[in-house]
Structure 1
Amino acid sequence: MNADARRRFWIGPVLAVTSLLVVLFSLEVGLRVVLDEEREQRLPRFGVPESVQARIAWSEWQSRRDKYGTTSYPSSFDEPDRNLGWRIRPNVDVTHVKPGIYEVSVHTNNRGMRGLHDVASEKRHGAARVGVFGCSQTFGETVNDEETYVERLGERLENVEFLNFGVRGYGTDQMLLYYEQDARTYELDVVVLAFAFYHMKRNDSGFLFYAKPYFTLSDSGALALSGVPVPSPEELAAEDLEQYTWPLADRSVLLRWTWQRSRNLRGRDLYSPDGDAWMLTRALISRFTESASASGAHVVVMNIDESHRELEDELAALTDELGAGLVNLGPALREAAENGISYTLPADNHWNAEGHRLVADWLQAYLCSHALTRACDRPDPPVSASLSRGNA
């Protein structure tokens, strides 16, 4: 091959590579222009598995704690727990702030539950007792103490004690362990499991906001507990996570954005009715229902998530099979949004005070109409909730 032929041979590949580099450079520059600093910082590390990414985020957050302090955002009401991962600290008294979004007063009682009133193991004589298990929506981290839906119900129904077992960041697995290890001793007449379909991701992980226990499901359908005892913060801080990272690739916004998109695509399968995450979550709800029923409590599953209507029928079939009550707030929340009712905070998916009031109305209507509590004054919910009795 003479010199001219060799040059012609290489012109095509060189032009192709040059064009590709120009396109990639343009995309890199374009993303840096489009994404603001906050969105760019939220992009995941390139090539890092999601569970490791969560551990890295936790380590970085730990290093910033001194900067933010205990009364600014992000703050922590939590303390490490070897069996649960974390739990709410007792006797918290803080102002919880997310600048420009909310500034609220947060108290916890002697038992580490949200609320101003201390709680005894034994219920008040002549009163019924309802325990509500959930995540940050139930804890109510973005509203004042008296504005949470659990506190509202306690104020409305004088002969019923409502205990708030909500813990920020919990999945169904941690709620189950919380009930079995601690809460079953509280003489609960009714147990409400405030369930959201986004808990499925938490159930499928051994590290999300912090290290946590998790269950796996065998081929026979049996649940097996893993991840306990949960490592201490000191043990986690000593781990070398840099071995999982690609520092040079992390300098590219394009690579990190592409990695995020691929993760999002994989995450779509999480909510499949035939997927492993739903099968695991079904088993967790079933065991929760069986454990609480064995202790003599009526069980009510309350769906607080309006985002995955494709799974609402699956949840209804499961609660019917288990003989549990169902309060499906998905349709009601969607109807509220269609009617222009603002029930979440701006730039934050947590409920505002109006959202908590609506949830209190709907849950009260269900509990009273199904004779699960006494001395009820039933409100008319502002929009209809899908309420199924089961055998509760």
Structure 2
Amino acid sequence: MSKFKNLVVNLSLTLGGLFMGVIIGEIGLRVASIEGYQKIGDFVDSAPTSFHTAHPDLGWKLKPGASGEWKGEGASFVRVNSNGLRDDREHTKAKPPNTLRVAVLGDSFTEAIHVPVEQTFWSKLERKLGNCAAVKGRKNVEVLNLGVQGYGTGQQLMMLRKKVWDYNPDIVVLAFFTGNDVINNSPKLEYDLYRPFFVYNASGKLVPDMSFRKLAPLDRNQRAVSFVDRLPSWLVNNSRILQVAKKADLDLKKRQISKDFTVLRANNFNPPKDAVWDNAWRVTEDLIVTMRNEVVQKNADFLLVVVGDPIQVNRDPQRRNKFMQENKIQDLFYPDKRLEKLGNREGFRVLTLAEQFKGYTEKFQVCVHGFDNSVPCGGHWNEIGHRLASIKISQNLCQQLKQSQLPKR
């Protein structure tokens, strides 16, 4: 009996010590104003920033009328117009008379909250294309920015169908980012599953899979969920210790994501290494061709602009070579050349920017990506990158407009 009593006493002392430790920890964290994160709710607005909101078909979209300062990477005052476009202006659905209208689809490089509107490539494109001899003095030029952060090609195709044709554009430009767009199009590669993915049906036709609508918040992105979120809400939301533990866990996951994505991203620069990557590329190419076909059916012109990855255009050749050696990459411009071949095979224009940007960064020793408050020479285009892109795109579009005016033989 004495052994049993000793066991009870020891267990009581242990539990009592743990309980007091928890109480002291809870009080200490509150006194020190150390905070963490509460449990993820049963209903979550899946949106990448406060300028976005959830959407039942697209996953998320820009929030009409949203505005505010952005200082996460770069800096700007962001305004979203009443139609959900990142622009300081409103655009009528009906195309104004005597107007050449260009719609630009893309992801965060196109949305471009990292720079002020006047520095974005689509704003500069409007001004530059207006000086093209084929339209100057004849038509006004209006460029619409339909880019949304995080979108893959499938979501951009759905944007084309749901929103672009309301504006009756003459030209549709798709800005494709080699750094992650192929990944975005595959549910086996993409981390964030709260989005429509296109899959092949029994007839081999690409169709949107809308099953993401049924995903619980805990299942949308395992990289953004902590083990703490599996515990009861009443416990997590009343425990500062658990909230701090959740923050620490997510901070660790964020660092791990960065490492993992560096490895994943490197696969963009090599031919598909397995069936998953082969399918991701196949879906991506078919989505682009489908978009081109639908644009042509509306009697509009289509241009695919291939946005390079920061490493492709880094001003330091040694850094590029090191990246290639570490990841066993034979050709850093593999995705660009693959998309050029797709355009040649399917009969549409492709403008690749990476090699042209690389020549510029090497010659002038500047960065076209990156900001002082983020990764140097990494991330999204800075003002230089947007300016160069606007020049190259306007030259391409202007040349096409000039050719379309030539008398047919």
> 1:327 and 2:321 equivalent?
no
> 1:205 and 2:205 equivalent?
no
> 1:117 and 2:89 equivalent?
yes
Q: Within 1, Cα distance between the matches of 2:254 and 2:111?
A: 34
The partner residue of 1:368 within 390, 398, 402 is 398
Query: Any idea what SS the aligned residue of 1:351 has?
Result: coil
Q: Within 2, Cα distance between the matches of 1:262 and 1:183?
A: 35
Match of 1:103 in 2: 75
Kept after mapping to 2: 8 A contact 1:128/1:374 = no
Match of 2:63 in 1: 89
Q: Given the two structures, how large is their TM-score scaled by the length of structure 2?
A: 0.64
Query: Any idea what SS the aligned residue of 2:213 has?
Result: coil
Q: Within 2, Cα distance between the matches of 1:178 and 1:229?
A: 17
Aligned CA RMSD, in angstroms, stands at: 4.0
Give matches, 1:3-14, under 5 Å.
Answer: none
Match of 2:10 in 1: none
C-alpha distance after superposition, 1:137-180 (max 9, x if no partner) = 11111001211111112234441110000100111110011111
Give matches, 1:197-346, under 5 Å.
Answer: 197=178, 198-205=180-187, 208-209=191-192, 211-217=194-200, 221-228=204-211, 230-231=213-214, 235-236=216-217, 242=227, 268-269=266-267, 272-274=270-272, 275-306=278-309, 307=312, 308-339=332-363, 340-346=365-371
Amino acid in the other structure paired with 2:104: V
Query: Any idea what SS the aligned residue of 2:103 has?
Result: strand
Q: Within 2, Cα distance between the matches of 1:238 and 1:263?
A: 19
Kept after mapping to 1: 8 A contact 2:193/2:212 = no
> 1:131 and 2:103 equivalent?
yes
Match of 1:155 in 2: 127
Q: Within 2, Cα distance between the matches of 1:146 and 1:373?
A: 29
Distance 1:96 1:265, change over 3 A: closer
Match of 2:173 in 1: 192
Q: Within 2, Cα distance between the matches of 1:316 and 1:149?
A: 22
Match of 2:53 in 1: 79
Q: Within 2, Cα distance between the matches of 1:258 and 1:136?
A: 22
Quote the offset at 1:227 in angstroms.
2.8
Q: Within 1, Cα distance between the matches of 2:60 and 2:91?
A: 20
Single out whichever of 179-188 and 355-364 deviates more from structure 2. Answer: 179-188
Quote the offset at 1:266 in angstroms.
6.3
Single out whichever of 259-268 and 134-143 deviates more from structure 2. Answer: 259-268
Amino acid in the other structure paired with 2:170: D
Distance 1:144 1:270, change over 3 A: closer
Kept after mapping to 2: 8 A contact 1:160/1:374 = no
Q: Within 2, Cα distance between the matches of 1:122 and 1:327?
A: 29
Kept after mapping to 1: 8 A contact 2:128/2:391 = no
Q: Within 1, Cα distance between the matches of 2:257 and 2:218?
A: 26
Kept after mapping to 2: 8 A contact 1:270/1:277 = no
Quote the offset at 1:228 in angstroms.
4.3
Distance 1:374 1:102, change over 3 A: farther
Quote the offset at 1:219 in angstroms.
8.1
Quote the offset at 1:269 in angstroms.
4.6
The partner residue of 1:170 within 151, 160, 166 is 151
Kindly, what percent of the aligned residue pairs are identical? 24
Kept after mapping to 2: 8 A contact 1:273/1:314 = no
Query: Any idea what SS the aligned residue of 2:86 has?
Result: coil
Query: Any idea what SS the aligned residue of 1:301 has?
Result: strand
Distance 1:209 1:145, change over 3 A: farther
Kept after mapping to 2: 8 A contact 1:123/1:186 = yes
Amino acid in the other structure paired with 1:135: D
Match of 1:49 in 2: none
Match of 1:352 in 2: 382
Distance 1:354 1:260, change over 3 A: closer
Match of 1:38 in 2: none
Q: Within 2, Cα distance between the matches of 1:315 and 1:217?
A: 21
Kept after mapping to 2: 8 A contact 1:90/1:113 = yes
Query: Any idea what SS the aligned residue of 1:152 has?
Result: helix
